[in-house]
Amino acid sequence: MYNATLPMEKLEQIDKALAGIELHTACISSPFDFLDSEYGVDMMEKITITLISIGENFKRMDRDTEGKKLAQRYPDVNWSGIKGMGDILLSEPFYIDAGEIFHICTNDLQPLRKAVQEMIKELENDHTP
């Protein structure tokens, strides 16, 4: 029997990380904001590391839930993109595309965060088949 504690902890950590990205990018209005100051570059690097971590955690999620595949219940999220993001970012560690990071922050994080929060509720209610 699987224990929902570990996936729940991971999802809560991911939700907190996504909230942090949202908070810290509120003043970012274009990809150039990541590049025009030391603060912007530092923020982009931190976001990149966080995105890698989020992707790696979702790679392990199916194993941790014994194949219950929580993510598949949320088709509005690009799960293969999230899981593969770390591989792409790690393949060129000294070249981070500010435009891509900006796109992820402005278009992809909110649907992901909503799905993560729904997964947390699902695990809390233990409605996993």
Give me the residue spans of the domains in the chain. 5-125
pTM, entire model = 0.84
Q: Is the pLDDT of residue 127 over 70?
A: no
2 to each of 6, 10, 60, 101, how far by Cα in Å? 10, 15, 14, 35
Q: Is the pLDDT of residue 20 over 90?
A: yes
pLDDT band at 62 (very low <50, low <70, confident <90, very high): low
pLDDT at 8 (0 to 100): 86
Amino acid type, 31: P
pLDDT at 67 (0 to 100): 56
Q: Is the pLDDT of residue 3 over 60?
A: no
Token look-up 């500010």 returns 98
pLDDT at 113 (0 to 100): 95
